[in-house]
Amino acid sequence: MENNTALDIFELYLPKAQWPTILKVSVKYKESSWLRWLGFFNVTWYKKYYIKVTYKNHKVRYFAISSDTKEVIKSHVLTFNFHLTTL
């Protein structure tokens, strides 16, 4: 059941028809350096998180995700990448 949960999560962001063309998936973030200094004022939204999708033809696409879903997706990246190798 754990494997199906991981696949269902990624199906929300990536159509299942594209999965055979994907090489790997990872979670990345981009940090806004000038907003980081606002951390002194208890601002913690200076990072934007993305799903980085690398295709077999070496093209890269980024899909924006929220910081809440980042933890869920990050815990299932390894399972999803393993599933991609079996396609």
Taking only the tens place, the pLDDT of each residue in 18-68 is 999 999 999 998 876 655 555 555 555 667 899 999 999 999 999 999 888
DSSP letters along 4-18, please? HHHHHHHHTTS-GGG
The C-alpha atoms of residue 40 and residue 79 are separated, in whole angstroms, by 37
Q: Which amino acid is present at 80?
A: F
Which residues are registered as beta bridge partners of 63? 51
Question: What is the pTM (predicted TM-score) of this model?
Answer: 0.77
pLDDT band per the 50, 70, 90 thresholds, residue 1: very low
Amino acid, single-letter form, for residue 87: L
Q: How far, in Å, CA of 47 to CA of 28, rounded? A: 10
Residues 18 and 10 sit within 8 Å (Cβ to Cβ): no
Q: Of 69 and 57, which is predicted with more confidence?
A: 57
- Taking residues 5-25, what's their average pLDDT? 89
